[in-house]
Amino acid sequence: MKNLCISTNVIAKICNVSQGTVDRALNNRPSIRASTKQRILNVAKQYGYREDIKTDFEGVVGYIGVIVFNLNNEFFPELITELEYVFRQEGFCAVVMMSHYNSSYEIECIRNLYNSGVEGIVLCSVNNGPEFENYLKLFDIPIVAVGNKISGISYVGIDDFAAMREVTENVIKRKPQNIVYFSPAVKYPNATAQHLRYEGFLKAVGNSKYSVVTDIENIQDLYDEETVIIYSTDYYAVEVYRKNSNVKVVGFDNISILDKYNLPIDSVGYSVSEIAQGALNIIKSKKSDIIEVDYFINER
């Protein structure tokens, strides 16, 4: 990709006008011909002119972009809340966009945030692979992955593999007759965190009897009491729990609704505020880093 951003000086050279003329065109000031103004605006759009965000709010020193899948999973509203809080403490505002699990739109979100002048981007990504990694490395602002790891890109989060392995080992100690692992996300190749959790499950389960379910329609209405169902996220655990309240349920992410409604679901917990602070620290330092946050298992 050429010309991630372009300065007003370069636009002036391309259009063979003064930098002052470019400034008048971009800021809708008078004393400029309509044809010249339009030509400058066309060049600015074509080459991805990056206009700095104006910090109109008192005390705001800059903006940081946040891209999440959606707000259906309670983890994302909690993450956004914590990010906004830690950003504010340092004078930054959060600019939130959602990819809706659309890989093309996610790339558009990244480009739009960059061109609007953000200081960095916190990214819960649906994209992955060498091409996407190379694309992200073209940007001259820090990009921090949260949730799904991206090779060569800064990351803040937990060891998903180790956490799920430990959860599964705890389940096996109960000697259940049957173990069910439920995760629709393992069908998607770019769901890195979900695949790490699945690998952690497989590592721990060994030769124990188990089955894997990826579609909610295939979750049975009734399992016997000797069955344990392990969910790759609490979002799935809560969604399906009402159909299987007679069995032991284990989830992941320790969302607050579990305690709010006193749901007997064990879950892997971790500090979202530490994740948010870690992401901010990387963006402020402008240095690549991998920050691993501690996890714990909340047994209910």
Domains located in the chain, CATH noted: 8-45 (no CATH), 62-157+272-293 (3.40.50.2300), 160-270 (3.40.50.2300)
The strand pair at 178-182 and 121-123 is best described as unpaired
- List 149's β-bridge partners, or say none: none
- Residues 252 and 199: their CA atoms lie apart, in Å, by 14
Per-residue pLDDT, 198:
97
pTM of the predicted model, to two decimals? 0.80
Which CB contacts under 8 angstroms, 24+ apart, belong to 83-91?
A: 83/122, 83/276, 83/279, 83/280, 85/273, 85/276, 86/273, 86/276, 86/277, 86/280, 87/280, 90/61, 90/280, 90/284, 91/59, 91/60, 91/61, 91/62
Which H helix or E strand runs over 61? none
Secondary structure class of 220 (helix, strand, coil) = coil
pLDDT string in tens for the chain (300-residue length): 344 567 788 889 889 999 899 989 988 888 899 999 999 999 888 877 766 545 456 677 899 999 999 999 899 999 999 999 999 999 999 999 999 999 999 999 999 999 888 999 999 999 999 999 999 998 999 999 999 999 999 999 999 999 999 999 999 999 998 999 999 988 888 889 999 999 999 999 998 889 999 988 887 766 777 899 999 999 889 887 877 778 889 999 999 999 999 999 999 999 999 999 999 999 999 999 999 999 999 998
- List 97's β-bridge partners, or say none: 67
